[in-house]
Amino acid sequence: MNSLYDELLSALYSVWHRRWLALAVAWGVCLLGWLVVALIPNSYESRARIFVQLDDALAEQVGINVADRKRDVERIRQTLTSAVNLEKVVRSTRLGETVTSPKDMEKAVIELAKNITVVSQQENLFEITAVSKEGSLSDAQNAELAQDIAQKMIDIFREENLSGNRGEMTETLEFVNQQLAQREKELEAAEQRRLAFEGQHPEMIQGGAANLQRLQSSREELRNIDADLAAAQSALAAINGQLAGTPKTMAGGGADGGARSSLARANSDLAAMRARGLTDSHPDVVAVRNQIAALKVAAQSEDSSGYGTPNPAYASLLSIKADREANVQAQIARRGALQAEVAALTASQIANPEIAAEAQRIGRDYDVLRQHYDKLLQDREELRLRGEVKTEREAVKFQVVDPPTTPRKPVAPNRPVLLIAVLLLGVGAGCGGAFALAQLRSTFATTGKLERGIGLPVLGAISTTLTEAGRELRKRRLKYFIAGSGGLAALCVLLLAVEFIQRGMVA
């Protein structure tokens, strides 16, 4: 503990013994540090916040949904700090006064990009921060410049939102119009080729300008006719079955008056058996057929005797049967005509395969071009409607929540802290220099250090004895040292006062 105490006393004595060197080093370091701090320009920051509104019912009706508008806003936010937009800011603010060449403009744009940030605080809230620290401008001018930069960024955001979409939509419409004009020329050329081909082969106009389409249509219609004919024949078979089971006359009475009725029931039973899939060789079918044969004889004898009255249901079924037979005949005739037409078209294709293939290719090309033209025409109308909605309704609306603030004090550097730090650094450098110089010289500040240095006991120490003139000189030098040290501290306080006065002038 005593050794540590002696070392501390020795260090203090070494610094105090060379206090003028320490003071000179402190003054040099402080003056140099304060000069560097003074050369650092003040940075003034201006902030602004904007709120983006994405809800618009009419925009959603024409296909502009919320996701599309969010992508538009994100695109604008990302391109807001592009080189083109930053060049607009440079030209429209005080920054452009010193730009005289493209190289100067490039340098100003790069520097400005470091001083502007656009941050998304929430889903629809954006914050724009602009910093100005031009060394050639005063603090008040830098504060005003920061506000101007933030305001210009808001103006660019509004311009990109309102006119950017309009310009993009105009370019898209121009591209679609160019494509339409090109498709229209191609469509006209295809139509001219078709007309020329039909002029050279007029038979293809009447008998097969669209042979393949007609052949396919005829075959499809033939299939439909076959299905209709099968249905008509089935209906005719059903009415024949009903006629077979319906008596021509109705029994009027007597013991033999039930022969016709029994015959009808037997025919009905036979029809039911056949409907179940029983063949003519089945025993039940054979028995019923024998019964029907016997009943027919009885019924004929009953009819010859004139016994019974005409059955109106039988007459109605005959009328229905005649109508269905006529329908079957019409379907058969139509099927024959279609078969003849299909055969003729097939024969035409076989006789002229090259002409038929050429006609098919020309027709196909024309149809494809026509479909593309109609699709582009519809797309153009939809794009025009979307553009009008974006232009008139402003699908993305925004409002300035916080206008650009006017900076009252610099955000960087923290000059008061730096001034005090330089003062402490200067004092530390002076003390360190004096102590280092003392370590380079072989002197002993205390008797204990002398004993350790020579390895012999020290019997005593003699204090310095000064004359009256020497004491006066020491007092005078001490006053000068205190004045020098106080001047250093006073200069630091003066610089702090100047800094706060300048801030007050900006505010």
Query: Based on the domain organization, do 309 and 418 belong to the same domain?
Result: no
- Take residue 291 and report the two structure tokens written for it: 């019964």
**Sequence-separated (6 or more) residues with CB below 8 Å from residue 339:** 222
Residues 215, 359, single domain; the answer is yes
Round to whole Å and give the CA distance between 470 and 476: 10
Residues 215 and 330 grouped into a single domain = yes
Same-domain check for residues 357 and 483:
no
463 and 322 together in one domain: no
Q: Does residue 478 fall inside a structural domain?
A: yes
The whole-number pLDDT of residue 278 equals 76
14 domain residue, yes or no:
yes
What is the Cα–Cα distance from 153 to 112, expressed in whole angstroms?
12
pLDDT at 429: 93
Boundary of a domain, candidates 336, 370, 404: 370
Q: Give me the mean pLDDT over the 355-367 stretch.
A: 71
pLDDT for 61 equals 45
More confident residue, 487 or 3: 487
Average pLDDT on 319-333 reads 82
Instruction: Give the residue from 303, 335, 370 where a domain finishes.
Output: 370
Sign for the CA dihedral angle at 339, 342, 348, 351 comes to: negative
User: If you count DSSP H runs as helices and E runs as strands, how many of each does the chain have, helices first?
Assistant: 17, 6
228 pLDDT higher than 80: yes
28-38: buried (b, 16+ CB within 10 Å) or exposed (e) per residue?
ebbeebbeebe
Kindly state whether residues 292 and 227 are assigned to the same domain: yes
pLDDT in tens, 74-128: 666 677 778 888 888 888 888 888 888 888 888 888 888 888 888 877 767 788 8
In a domain, 329, yes or no: yes
Q: Report yes or no on 284 lying in a domain.
A: yes
For residue 176, pLDDT over 80 is answered with no
Pairing of strands 249-250, 397-402: unpaired
What pLDDT is stored for residue 188 in this prediction?
81
Instruction: Give the C-alpha separation, 297 to 271, whole Å.
Output: 20
In a domain, 365, yes or no: yes
The reported pLDDT for the residue numbered 255 is: 41
Residue 427 lies in a domain: yes
The more confident residue out of 167 and 424 is: 424
- Total domain count, the chain: 2
Instruction: Print the domain residue range for 420.
Output: 1-40+413-507
Q: Which of 370, 405, 426 is the last residue of a domain?
A: 370
Mean of per-residue pLDDT scores for the chain: 76
Q: Residue 458: how many CB atoms within 10 A of its CB? A: 15
68-82, 104-118, 277-291, 385-399, range with the lowest pLDDT = 385-399
pLDDT bracket for residue 411 (50, 70, 90): confident
pLDDT tens for 153-166 read 888 877 766 554 55
From CA 79, how far away is CA 83, in angstroms rounded? Answer: 9
Residues 355 and 215 grouped into a single domain: yes
108 assigned to some structural domain:
no
Q: How much is the average pLDDT of 405-430? A: 89
Same domain, 217 and 366: yes
Specify whether 315 is located in the same domain as 438. no
358 plus 247 within the same structural domain = yes
pLDDT for the residue numbered 68: 57
Same domain, yes or no, for 346 and 272? yes
Task: Looking at the structure, tell me whether residues 365 and 465 fall in a common domain.
Answer: no
Lowest-pLDDT choice from 38-47, 91-100, 137-146, 286-295: 286-295
Question: What is the sign, positive or negative, of the torsion defined by CA atoms of 287, 292, 293, 295?
Answer: positive
In a domain, 236, yes or no: yes
